[in-house]
Chain A
Amino acid sequence: MYDAIIDIRRLTVDLGGNPVLRGMDLRVSPGEIVAVVGQNGSGKSTLLRCVAGLHPGTSGEIRVFGEPRSDDARFWGRVGLLLDEPAWYPALTVREHLELMAAVHSSTRMTVDAALEEFALVERADAVPLNLSTGQRQRLSLAAALLRPSALLLLDEPERGLDAAFRARLADLLDAYAKEGGTVVMATHDPGLTARNRQVSPTGVAA
C-alpha cells in the first residue's frame, strides 16, 4: 500500500540544455486535486510528462502508486492523461470516439449517453470532431478522460478553449471525481480551478 499517489523527490529536468525543473519535491495524496501553476515555460507540462513517463527526468526519483513508473498496461489502466488535443479518427463521430474509449476499458465511470449529457455534446454526438469548435473538442477530450476508469488524472490546461460557464462545471466534475477517490494533477492558468485546490509551482514560487 502507499500513502502518496505521487511521490517526487529532487526531480531535475533539462530540456535542450536548459534546466526546466530543479530539485522539485511533490507529494500528492489519494483523493487530492493539485493545481500546478506558474508562468509560461516554468515546467508545468514537463512535470506532468515526467509523472506519466513520457519525459525522462535528468535526475531525481518519481514514484507513482508507491512504485517507479512502469509504462505498462497496468499503469495506463490506472492513469488517465490529457495533454495536447488528441488526434481524432477521421471517420468516427463524437459518440463513436466515446464508445471506443468504453470499448478499450472493461468498465466505465459513466455511460456514453451520460458523458454526452455531462459535457453538453448531445446535439453534436453525430458530428466528426474536426467539425466541432475548439471548446467543444476540448469538452470531448475531457469527456473521454472522465468516462474511462482511473485512479489518477493528469490534465494539461483542461480549461483550454472552454467558456466561463463550462470552466465552473469542470471544477465540479473534478470535485466529484476526487470524492470517488480519484486524484487529479493539472497544470492550469484558470483562477477558478486554482482557487479551490492545492497549488504547487514547479519553480517553488507561486504565480
Chain B
Amino acid sequence: MTQVRDVRAYLRSRTHGPASAIDRYVTVFGLAMLAAVAGRPISGVLAALDAPVDPVRMGAGLALLAVAFTGFLAAARAAGPVLMSPADAAWLLLSPLDRRKLLGRSALVIGLVALVAGLLLGVGLLGVLGAPDQLVWRVLAALVLGVSATVGGAALAVLGQSSPAWQIWLSGAMAALLVLAVVAVSGRLRTVPAVAAHAPLAAVTAAVAGAVAVSWLLARRAWASLDRIPARDLVASSARAGYAADATVGLDLSTFTWIAEDNHWRSRTLVSRRRPGVAAPLAPAWADWLRVIRRPGRLAVVAATAPLPAVLVQAGGSPTASAVAVLGGALAVAATAVSGARRDAGNPALARLLGLGLRPALAARAVLPAVLGGVWATAALLMLPVDGTWWLFGPLAAPALAAGALRMARRRPVDHSLPVLETGGGAIPVGPLLWAGTGVDLALLGCLPAFAALTTPDAAPGSYLLAQAVTGVAVLLGYLWRARTSRS
C-alpha cells in the first residue's frame, strides 16, 4: 500500500524547495524577536514571585485564567481541532491512505499550540499564586501544570471530534471552568488559592504527577481516535481552514466574520416572522435586530462578559487597563450587531435593490449597536468599584461606539499596496495597521472624555460627562454625514 510519507514527499518535492540559509535566518531571527518581546513581561512576573499576593487578587486572577482556558477549549472545538488543507482533503482524505498517519501532522500542530498555550497558562498561574519559596521547583510545577492542562484539553477536543460522548465531557469541562471562575471571583473559596500558593512541595509534586498522568492518557486516546474522525467532519473543517487561510494570507480578517455567520445560519431552521410596521429606513435595520433576537445564546455570552472589567480591576489591573476593557469590550459588543452594514458594504446589490438612501439606512442601523454597546458599558461600569454617576458614561458613549462599530464593519479590505515602514523597532506594514485602526479610531475619538475620566478615577466626572454627551453625538452625526461620500 502507498505510504503517507511517500505522498507527502512527492508534494514537498513539487511545492517547496529545500530551506535556504535565508529561510533559516528568518526563522531564527523571528524566534529571537519573539523571545525578546515576550521575555520582559515574563521576567517581570518571575521577579515579583516572592512578593506576598493579596487573596482577593488571587481569586480574580484565577477567574481570568479559568476564562482564558475556557476560551482556549472553545477555540479548539470551533477550529476542529484536527483539520487539513482543502487540497489535502480533496486529494488525500477520501483515498486508501492511512488516516491516522495522514492526520499526524495536524495532531503535531495541535500539540505545539497546546504547548505554547500551556506555558503561557503556567506563567499566568505563577503570576496569580506567586512562589513564596522553592522558586525553581514552583516555576517548573506551574509550567508543567499549564502544559498538562492545555494538552489534556486539546486531546479532549480531538476526542470530541470523533465521538459525541467526548463532546459532552468537553462541554462539561468548559462549564466547570466557568463555574470555577464565578466561584473564584465571588471570594467564597478565598482560602483555596492561598493554600495552593503555600502548598508543600510534596503536595505540588503529587498534583503535577496526577495532571501529567491524566493528560498523557487523554493524549494517547486522542492519538488512537484519529482514524475514527468521520470524513464528513474533516471535509467541513478543511473548508473552514481554507477560508481561514485565505483570510490570513490576505490579512482580511473580516472574512472570518462572514464564515462564522454563514456557517451559523446555514445549520439553523428558522420560522419567518412578521415584520413590525416600521418606516422604510428602519425596515432593513430590523434584520439586524432579528439576527440578535435569533441568537439568544450569543446575547447571554455577551451579557456574561460584562463583569470582566471588574474582575480585571480586582486582579490588580490599572485604571488604564480597566478603561480599555470597558470601552474596548463595549465596542466589541457593538460590533456584533452591525452585520447588515457589513453585508451592504461588501455586496451592495441588495441595498441598491431596496433603493434606500445610504444615510437614513446607516442611521437606522446605528440604533442596535448603540443600544447593545451602551447597555454593556453601563453594566460593566456599574460593577466597577467606583461610586456615583460613572455609569452614565455607558449611555453617553453609546453613539460613538455605534459609529466606531459601523465604520469597522464598512471598512475596505486591507490595502496591501501601501508601503512597509522600516523603523528602529522593526518593519511596520501600513496597510494592515490602517485596517486594524479603522473604526477603533472613531470610537476612541468619540469616547475620549470617558477614557480620560476612567483613567483618572479621582477626578469629578461632571465635566467629563458633559463633554462625553457632546462628543458622542457629534461623532455619530459626523460619521453619518461623511458616509455620503466615503465607504468607511
Binds B, one of A37-45, A72-80, A156-164: A72-80
**Among B87, B267, B269, which residue has its beta carbon within 8 angstroms of that of A87?**
B87
Asked whether A89 and B232 contact (CB < 8 A) given A73-B98, A100-B10, the answer is no
**How many A residues touch the partner, as a band?**
20 to 34
Give complex CA distance A54, B89 in Å. Answer: 13
B85 cross-chain contacts in A, Cβ below 8 A: 87
Which residues from 1 to 25 on chain B have a C-beta closer than 8 Å to any C-beta of chain A? 1-2, 6-7, 10-11, 14-15
Name which residue of chain B comes closest to A73, CB basis: B96
Name which residue of chain B comes closest to A71, CB basis: B231
Q: Is B412 an interface residue (CB 8 A)?
A: no
Which residues from 76 to 98 on chain B have a C-beta closer than 8 Å to any C-beta of chain A? 85-87, 89-98
Asked whether A91 and B15 contact (CB < 8 A) given A77-B95, A100-B7, the answer is yes
A56 cross-chain contacts in B, Cβ below 8 A: 232
The answer to whether A73 touches B231 (Cβ under 8 A) is: no
The answer to whether A16 touches B267 (Cβ under 8 A) is: yes
The answer to whether A89 touches B89 (Cβ under 8 A) is: no
Q: Is A81 an interface residue (CB 8 A)?
A: yes
The answer to whether B87 touches A88 (Cβ under 8 A) is: yes
Give complex CA distance A103, B90 in Å. Answer: 15
Q: Is B343 an interface residue (CB 8 A)?
A: no
Asked whether A87 and B90 contact (CB < 8 A) given A16-B267, A96-B14, A104-B95, the answer is yes
Q: Is B344 an interface residue (CB 8 A)?
A: no
Task: Bits for A59-102, please: 1 = Cβ < 8 Å to B, else 0.
Answer: 00000000000011110110101000011111110001101110
The answer to whether A91 touches B269 (Cβ under 8 A) is: no
Task: Bits for B95-111, please: 1 = Cβ < 8 Å to A, else 0.
Answer: 11111000000000000
The answer to whether B15 touches A92 (Cβ under 8 A) is: yes
Closest Cβ of chain A to B248, distance in Å, is: 15
The answer to whether B10 touches A103 (Cβ under 8 A) is: yes
Which residues from 226 to 244 on chain B have a C-beta closer than 8 Å to any C-beta of chain A? 227, 230-232, 235, 238, 242
The answer to whether A72 touches B87 (Cβ under 8 A) is: no
**How many B residues touch the partner, as a band?**
20 to 34
Q: Is B484 an interface residue (CB 8 A)?
A: no
Closest Cβ of chain B to A120, distance in Å, is: 22
The answer to whether B267 touches A105 (Cβ under 8 A) is: no
The answer to whether A17 touches B15 (Cβ under 8 A) is: no
Q: Is B268 an interface residue (CB 8 A)?
A: yes
Name which residue of chain A comes closest to B9, CB basis: A103
B99 cross-chain contacts in A, Cβ below 8 A: 72-73
Give complex CA distance A89, B13 in Å. Answer: 13
The answer to whether B95 touches A89 (Cβ under 8 A) is: no
Q: Is A53 an interface residue (CB 8 A)?
A: yes
Name which residue of chain B comes closest to A17, CB basis: B269
Name which residue of chain A comes closest to B90, CB basis: A86
Give complex CA distance A59, B89 in Å. Answer: 27
**Among B14, B232, B235, B269, which residue has its beta carbon within 8 angstroms of that of A16?**
B269
**Among A53, A81, A92, A106, which residue has its beta carbon within 8 angstroms of that of B14?**
A92
Q: Is A198 an interface residue (CB 8 A)?
A: no
Name which residue of chain A comes closest to B232, CB basis: A54
Give complex CA distance A73, B227 in Å. Answer: 10
The answer to whether A77 touches B96 (Cβ under 8 A) is: yes
Give complex CA distance A170, B6 in Å. Answer: 32
**Among B7, B14, B96, B268, which residue has its beta carbon within 8 angstroms of that of A74?**
B96
The answer to whether B91 touches A106 (Cβ under 8 A) is: no
The answer to whether A104 touches B2 (Cβ under 8 A) is: yes
Closest Cβ of chain A to B88, distance in Å, is: 8
Closest Cβ of chain A to B444, distance in Å, is: 39
Q: Is A55 an interface residue (CB 8 A)?
A: yes
Closest Cβ of chain A to B24, distance in Å, is: 21
Asked whether A89 and B11 contact (CB < 8 A) given A54-B232, A71-B230, the answer is yes
Closest Cβ of chain B to A77, distance in Å, is: 3
Name which residue of chain A comes closest to B91, CB basis: A100
The answer to whether B91 touches A86 (Cβ under 8 A) is: yes
The answer to whether B2 touches A105 (Cβ under 8 A) is: yes
B266 cross-chain contacts in A, Cβ below 8 A: 16
Give complex CA distance A56, B230 in Å. Answer: 11
The answer to whether A81 touches B2 (Cβ under 8 A) is: no
Central interface residue in A18, A74, A103, by most chain B CB within 10 Å: A103
A99 cross-chain contacts in B, Cβ below 8 A: 10
B235 cross-chain contacts in A, Cβ below 8 A: 54
Task: Bits for B188-228, please: 1 = Cβ < 8 Å to A, else 0.
Answer: 00000000000000000000000000000000000000010
Give complex CA distance A73, B3 in Å. Answer: 12
B2 cross-chain contacts in A, Cβ below 8 A: 103-106
Name which residue of chain A comes closest to B230, CB basis: A71
A55 cross-chain contacts in B, Cβ below 8 A: 232
B11 cross-chain contacts in A, Cβ below 8 A: 89, 92, 100
B92 cross-chain contacts in A, Cβ below 8 A: 104
The answer to whether B231 touches A89 (Cβ under 8 A) is: no
Give complex CA distance A97, B11 in Å. Answer: 10
Task: Bits for A133-152, please: 1 = Cβ < 8 Å to B, else 0.
Answer: 00000000000100000000
Closest Cβ of chain A to B148, distance in Å, is: 32
A88 cross-chain contacts in B, Cβ below 8 A: 87, 90
Which residues from 260 to 300 on chain B have a C-beta closer than 8 Å to any C-beta of chain A? 266-269
A74 cross-chain contacts in B, Cβ below 8 A: 96
Asked whether A16 and B242 contact (CB < 8 A) given A54-B235, A77-B96, A87-B86, the answer is no
A89 cross-chain contacts in B, Cβ below 8 A: 11, 14-15, 87, 91
Which residues from 100 to 139 on chain A have a C-beta closer than 8 Å to any C-beta of chain B? 100-101, 103-106
A71 cross-chain contacts in B, Cβ below 8 A: 230-231
Asked whether A103 and B7 contact (CB < 8 A) given A54-B232, A54-B235, the answer is yes
Give complex CA distance A203, B169 in Å. Answer: 40
Give complex CA distance A90, B249 in Å. Answer: 13
Asked whether A91 and B14 contact (CB < 8 A) given A16-B269, A17-B269, A73-B96, the answer is yes
Give complex CA distance A97, B266 in Å. Answer: 32
Give complex CA distance A56, B164 in Å. Answer: 14
Closest Cβ of chain B to A54, distance in Å, is: 4
Name which residue of chain A comes closest to B269, CB basis: A17
Q: Which 10 A-B pairs have the closest CB atoms?
A: A87-B86, A77-B96, A86-B90, A17-B269, A91-B15, A54-B232, A87-B87, A73-B96, A89-B87, A87-B90
12 intermolecular pairs with C-beta atoms under 8 Å apart: A16-B266, A76-B96, A77-B95, A79-B94, A87-B86, A89-B15, A89-B91, A100-B7, A103-B2, A104-B96, A105-B95, A105-B96
